[in-house]
Structure 1
Amino acid sequence: MNDRTVGRHAGPGLNRRRFLAAAGLTAAGAALATTIQDRAEAAPAAAGVFRVPVEDVRHTRTWMAWPDTTSIWRGKLSGVQADIALIARTIAKYEPVVLCANPGSAAKARQMCGPTVTVISSIPVDDCWMRDTGPVFRTDGYGGLDTVGLNFNGWGDKQTHAKDALVAERIAAYVGVPFTYADLVGEGGAIEQDGAGTLMATRSSIVNRNRNPGVSERQLERAMCDAYGASKVIWFDGVYGQDITDDHVDATSRFLAPGEALVQMPVAADTDDYARDARKQYSVLSASTTAAGRAMDVMRLQGPDYNKIRSANRDFLASYANFYLCNDAVISAQFGDKRADEAAKATLARLYPDRRIEQLDIDRLGTGGGGIHCVTQQQPAA
């Protein structure tokens, strides 16, 4: 669920950009944020040897989740399930996929995903956004693996999340690795890491009172670095209040390697808040350095023309940048703008010459405001 940064103009409709489903909001987020603030006031813990690796490392498996809630998806549910199944089956050609489903819908998930995907019903879920609800896996370079939870609160109590708030800890227990909670409220799609000490994120998502009220940017920066094993954060302003994520970074800007990043750029005619945000992200990154002091090498990934894509939904997320790296492949989306789709595939092939590029039609998920990276969470090999 991310991530959401390159959608079109705000407008009514059933999708994540317009706060898809307000059912089941709780006071838990506010109480948790108070606890986070208290902890953030204390001296930060010394950085350990564990850090979140860059995403092109080898994986043990991919984690996903099965949506089954009509109060969230309404008439779109069957189409979104078809897209989730397609993504899971595609990734399963390259590495194991474990998909968490509620007991009542596990059989349908198995039927739609097929025998190559492992469906488990012991970890209940509210929705499909495993990037945000799942644990963040860390490695120490010596065979050690642990996990961090980002205290998921339904993107600022915008959506029910009683089950999803527990997914990270339950997956860690299932895998049998240590688990700790970070000293901030956030989501995996809100933070990008290069695996060598540098993070990037939008202020609109992290420095936001719906997640971290009263906590300063400096405190949050320390908490992020402690959780990810990093020492520097590159901040973008982002876009406040126009989508459920408050502008996750992973739909626009991604790390490729230490000192290397890409930004999905809008077409020249796009001038909405998300287009302006993308151009600013490119500018900020181009002027930034890594934690090691190296100048950033920033590449452009041209986005599609929204007048030429298949979807007519004004809030559709057409993000090539929201791709997922799995073992030996890059799983990305295509949107029906043939020239842009082909150009994006060629760009990804140049960036990852040793991987197969798979482009999928996931328009139902895109109409819901998410992409492939949003619904996946990698478990790196220790």
Structure 2
Amino acid sequence: MTAPIPAAIPAEWAPHRAMWVGWPTHAEYWFEHLEQARDEVEGLVLALAGPGREQVKLMVGSEEALSGAQARFAGVANVEVVPGRFGDIWLRDTGPIFGAGSRTAAAFKVNGWGGKYDMAGDDEVAGQIGEHSGVPLTWNDFVLEGGSLDHDGEGTVLTTRQCVLNPNRNPGWNQDEAVAAAALEHAVGAKVVVWLGDGLLNDHTDGHVDNLARFVAPGVVACPIAWGQKDPNAEVYDATARDLSAVTDAGGRKLKVVRIPSPGLVLDEDERPVPASHMNFLIANGAVIVPTYGDDQASRFACEALADAFPDREIIPLPSNAILTGGGSFHCISQQEPA
């Protein structure tokens, strides 16, 4: 008997009963950035745990780091420090994707982002989160990271060919959109899959969509517009906007595209462009947390645009420079449990 198609994954702006966040744990992955990364994640957690917002479940990946995390958040309402095991903090990718009402959650194979970062414990994250949350998991026999998808709550799913059709994930899907779309239909209730092209330059996730394009309302998608003349992703941003403008969603609407200023050119210590993105914002109960990377004017313009998209939520910009050295930002290290 064929398994029934699940309901669509709720949009991120739907109410949450909790928000998972990963705590920077392993010094061997963060090097000299560890303490700054912890400070940045602490800022995120405190913003999320504000009055009327989220019940935060902060997963700490080792016994050695547990007491320090507990001390930081001792007495902070709405923050539960959860002992766990993981390779690194990217719970969006290694954790499960919760369905409506968090009655079930979809879990997937983990292969270290196409074999590039195979870290002990990452394949255990989904099971730990499911067990702690009391939510039964439906396991899917293919590789998928949560950051490679974005959902509108009605069955429209955004993704990129660069990641989801990459032969380093599921070789049988290589350039076969129909096979991949059928798998996503049975795993996350996808009715329409919007296939975008490439993600950001030097994105080690092979182009996760949560750095590129995000639903902000039914029928409305935000994507970046280049900031500054040296923005290395200007052509990718414009191609993404064109592709989105040509798409009809699961509700029969032609997508409206909102352009959000990018952070522009951001370089690492070796002068290489890094995938800094305001699109890695996190939609929380009552707030949108926006990562910033040192350009005050770019982040101000991005926050103003997001305030127009989310008039009922507080827009909170927070620094994410150290977290970015690990390859992601606020959305990448979190995962919501819908109410």
Question: Structure 1 length normalisation: TM-score?
Answer: 0.81
Q: Which residue of 2 aligns with 1:282?
A: 241
In the aligned structure 2, how far is the partner of 1:261 from the partner of 1:331? 17
Higher RCO, Cα 8 Å, sep 6+: 1
Matching residue within 283, 288, 305 for 1:325: 283
Matches within 5 A, 1:1-382: 45-48=3-6, 50-93=7-50, 94-101=53-60, 102-116=62-76, 117-121=79-83, 123-139=84-100, 145-215=103-173, 216-239=176-199, 242-267=202-227, 269-270=229-230, 272=232, 274-306=233-265, 314-381=272-339
The amino acid that maps onto 1:229 is G
Is the deviation greater in 55-64 or in 182-191? 182-191
Q: Which residue of 2 aligns with 1:9?
A: none
Corresponding residue SS for 1:343: helix
Corresponding residue SS for 2:171: coil
The amino acid that maps onto 1:232 is V
Is the deviation greater in 296-305 or in 73-82? 73-82
Q: Is the 8 A contact 1:311 1:363 kept in 2?
A: no
Corresponding residue SS for 1:150: strand
How many residue pairs get aligned? The number is 332
Structure 1 residues 310, 332: CA separation in 2 closer, same or farther (over 3 Å shift)? farther
Offset from partner CA, 1:17-66 (integer Å, 9 cap, x none): xxxxxxxxxxxxxxxxxxxxxxxxxx974413x32100001111110122
- Please report how far the alpha carbon of residue 211 of structure 1 lies from its aligned counterpart in structure 2 after TM superposition: 0.9
The amino acid that maps onto 2:122 is D
Q: Is the 8 A contact 2:10 2:151 kept in 1?
A: yes
Q: Is the 8 A contact 1:66 1:125 kept in 2?
A: no
Q: What is the root-mean-square deviation of aligned Cα atoms in Å?
A: 2.3
In the aligned structure 2, how far is the partner of 1:321 from the partner of 1:161? 26
In the aligned structure 1, how far is the partner of 2:192 from the partner of 2:159? 11
The amino acid that maps onto 2:12 is E
Q: Is the 8 A contact 1:88 1:113 kept in 2?
A: no
Q: Which residue of 2 aligns with 1:7?
A: none
Structure 1 residues 271, 44: CA separation in 2 closer, same or farther (over 3 Å shift)? farther
In structure 1, list runs of 5 or more residues that go unmatched.
Answer: 1-42
Identity %: 35
In the aligned structure 2, how far is the partner of 1:44 from the partner of 1:115? 49
Q: Is the 8 A contact 2:268 2:274 kept in 1?
A: no
Corresponding residue SS for 1:301: strand
Offset from partner CA, 1:242-271 (integer Å, 9 cap, x none): 432001111110011221111011136246
In the aligned structure 1, how far is the partner of 2:277 from the partner of 2:14? 22
Is the deviation greater in 235-244 or in 203-212? 235-244
- Please report how far the alpha carbon of residue 305 of structure 1 lies from its aligned counterpart in structure 2 after TM superposition: 3.4
The amino acid that maps onto 2:265 is Y
The amino acid that maps onto 1:361 is P
- Please report how far the alpha carbon of residue 312 of structure 1 lies from its aligned counterpart in structure 2 after TM superposition: 8.7
Offset from partner CA, 1:324-372 (integer Å, 9 cap, x none): 0111111112233222222111111111111111110121112332111
In structure 2, list runs of 5 or more residues that go unmatched.
Answer: none
In the aligned structure 1, how far is the partner of 2:321 from the partner of 2:270? 10
In the aligned structure 2, how far is the partner of 1:189 from the partner of 1:249? 6
In the aligned structure 2, how far is the partner of 1:326 from the partner of 1:271? 29
Question: Structure 2 length normalisation: TM-score?
Answer: 0.91
Corresponding residue SS for 2:205: coil
In the aligned structure 1, how far is the partner of 2:2 from the partner of 2:291? 39
The amino acid that maps onto 1:118 is E
- Please report how far the alpha carbon of residue 374 of structure 1 lies from its aligned counterpart in structure 2 after TM superposition: 0.8
- Please report how far the alpha carbon of residue 378 of structure 1 lies from its aligned counterpart in structure 2 after TM superposition: 0.7
Corresponding residue SS for 1:162: coil
In the aligned structure 1, how far is the partner of 2:102 from the partner of 2:265? 45
- Please report how far the alpha carbon of residue 276 of structure 1 lies from its aligned counterpart in structure 2 after TM superposition: 2.1
The amino acid that maps onto 1:202 is T
Q: Is the 8 A contact 2:202 2:274 kept in 1?
A: no
- Please report how far the alpha carbon of residue 114 of structure 1 lies from its aligned counterpart in structure 2 after TM superposition: 4.3
In the aligned structure 1, how far is the partner of 2:2 from the partner of 2:265? 45
In the aligned structure 1, how far is the partner of 2:9 from the partner of 2:289? 21
In the aligned structure 2, how far is the partner of 1:82 from the partner of 1:152? 28
In the aligned structure 1, how far is the partner of 2:36 from the partner of 2:228? 32
The amino acid that maps onto 2:274 is F
Q: Is the 8 A contact 2:199 2:211 kept in 1?
A: no
- Please report how far the alpha carbon of residue 298 of structure 1 lies from its aligned counterpart in structure 2 after TM superposition: 0.9
Q: Is the 8 A contact 1:124 1:167 kept in 2?
A: yes
